[in-house]
Structure 1
């Protein structure tokens, strides 16, 4: 019988998100893919340094206990298969269990997310993230230069999510864009008891909650936070939406436009997901950050 990933938390990740291939990527951008391939092959025996998403992946794999594998990590990359050799060699050198990889040599990798049943796609390439989100997958563009402190809270995964356009749809953000803060507040007060439509990361938060339940004996715990620019009275609809979904978060921060990075510095997330580049830019200075390229704030100009 073929093996299956059904029922597992599946993380698809590009090679640049998992390992530090920034120097090699500069060669690719300045020359061509052949020079890049030659460089990767020449460094086949040189393990790559961990990338921005490496600590998150390592911690997620701690939910896999003997006879009860709950997390599958798959490299999904525009790299060529030869460069893929270095990815697997680097994983082996780091004692990172990695069995699967799909390498498309420049072609769009996101169509394979369906075959994988991926819950999350992390990539350093914005267009791949946009395409994955458009196809209905939780996806984020990682900031490769994010500050990383892999040794903090080693027995706990901490993940922070923005609300609108991330956990929730961008319905309310569109009202804000059209009518400003007063219109936004009035809209949210009027609809306080009406759950917001789901955003692209709702399925991931649900999957993480299931993971905690299905692996109660794992040596890793999960802590989640909602970190949003909303403030009272617009906070009520966000809370009631999570209640309607039967989803719990451990912490909720309604910051009313305050700088999120100051609060993330205290929460110390293993990853933070937000749809606004301004918040992502500052958050990346205190921890691993992913830009969710969705919603009205990220619409590409028409024309």
Structure 2
């Protein structure tokens, strides 16, 4: 029987999102790929340190056990195949079960998301993320300056999502941009019983929901909606999730308050937001990624 990923949650991730390759990347960005390749080859037996998305990936892989392989993580990288050897060795040294990878030697790798059937793409390359989002895949640019995840919840994958233009479409955000807060609140109150259209990360949230129901392996998923919405606009967001038959464990309707301090208390392994101001502030507290979708990023 041919191998398939159809029954798994599939995460595609770049090497810089998973490991701390910032020193090596500085050499790559200098325009000397041969020097970069030589550095990686010389460090072949030096395990790279964990990167910003490491905690998220390690915990998701913990859903796999001897009875079922529920999660597949695939390295999808602009690296060359030689550098790919170090990535796999770093995975082994850090006890990550990484078996598949695509290395494109400087070319954009996003086109391989389709045959992988990826539910999420994480990369430090903004162009790759935009192309992935345009192709319909949940994707975020990992802020490599983010703080690393804490270790207080080893048996929980904790993920926080913004609402508009992330879980939901940017329909309401467009009203806010054109008409201001009062117009936004009235629009959402009038449409409280009309579900919001899906945003780019709804498929990933749904995949997490399926993973949680797949079986008891000692790991749990805890999700949070962290949004600038406030009452009365909160109701449409909640009713939309109910319509999707997807629940979140926590919801924070912050009415424009900075999200970072609240996220610090939630302690997610990763946070996704479409607005650079929110995500840059959050990165000072938790691992964060920018979702370049919606009207604020057009």
Shift of 1:93: 1.1
CA contact 2:149–2:286 (8 Å) conserved in 1: yes
Deviations along 1:191-222, one digit per CA (max 9) or x if unpaired, are 1110000000001111001101002x212111
CA distance in 2, matches of 1:44, 1:245: 46
1:36 corresponds to 2:36 = yes
Instruction: Tell me which residue corresponds to 2:297.
Output: 298
Structure 1 CA distance for aligned equivalents of residues 109 and 153 of structure 2: 33
Counterpart of 2:110?
110
Cα drift, residue 30 of structure 1: 1.8
Structure 1: runs of 5 or more not aligned = none
CA-to-partner distance for each residue in 1:50-108, whole Å, 9 max, x for gaps? 11111110000111111211000000001110010100111111111110000011111
Counterpart check, 1:176 vs 2:186? no
Distance of 1:263 and 1:149 partners within structure 2: 14
Shift of 1:150: 4.3
Aligned partners of 1:209, 1:50: CA distance in 2, in Å? Answer: 26
Matched residue, 2:242 = 243
The corresponding residue for 2:286 is 287
Matched, 1:209 2:181: no
Q: Counterparts of 1:110-189 in structure 2 under 5 Å?
A: 110-189=110-189
Q: How far did 1:149 drift?
A: 3.4
SS of residue matched to 1:45:
coil
Instruction: Name the CA distance, whole Å, in 2 between partners of 1:269 and 1:167.
Output: 16
Q: Which runs of 4+ in 1 moved over 3 A?
A: none
1:114-164 residue CA offsets vs partner (Å, 9 max, x unmatched): 000000000000000000000000000001121113422111111000000
User: What is the aligned-residue RMSD (CA, Å)?
Assistant: 0.8
Q: What is residue 51 of structure 1 aligned with on the other side?
A: 51
Give 1:31 deviation, angstroms. Answer: 3.2
Secondary structure at the aligned position of 2:236 is classed as: helix
Q: Tell me if 1:85 matches 2:85.
A: yes
* Pairwise CA distance, 1:186: 1.3
Deviation, 1:29, is 1.2
Q: Give the C-alpha shift of residue 48 in structure 1.
A: 0.6
Task: Please say if residues 149 and 268 of structure 2, whose CA atoms lie closer than 8 Å, have aligned partners that are also in contact.
Answer: no
Asked whether the equivalents of residues 150 and 267 of structure 2 are also in contact (C-alpha less than 8 Å), the reply is no
The DSSP-based 3-state class of the residue aligned with 2:271 is strand
2:148·2:287 contact (CA, 8 Å) conserved in 1? yes
Superposition TM-score, scaled by structure 2 size: 0.98
- Greater CA drift, 28-37 or 281-290: 28-37
After TM superposition, the structure 1 stretch with the greater mean CA deviation from structure 2, 158-167 or 35-44, is: 35-44
Distance 1:174 1:142 in 2: 25
Deviation per residue, 1:200-253 (Å, 9 max, x gap): 0001111001101002x2121110000000000111110110011111000000
Counterpart Cα distance in 1 of 2:116 and 2:67? 21
Unaligned runs of 5+ in 2: none
Q: Does 1:220 align with 2:219?
A: yes
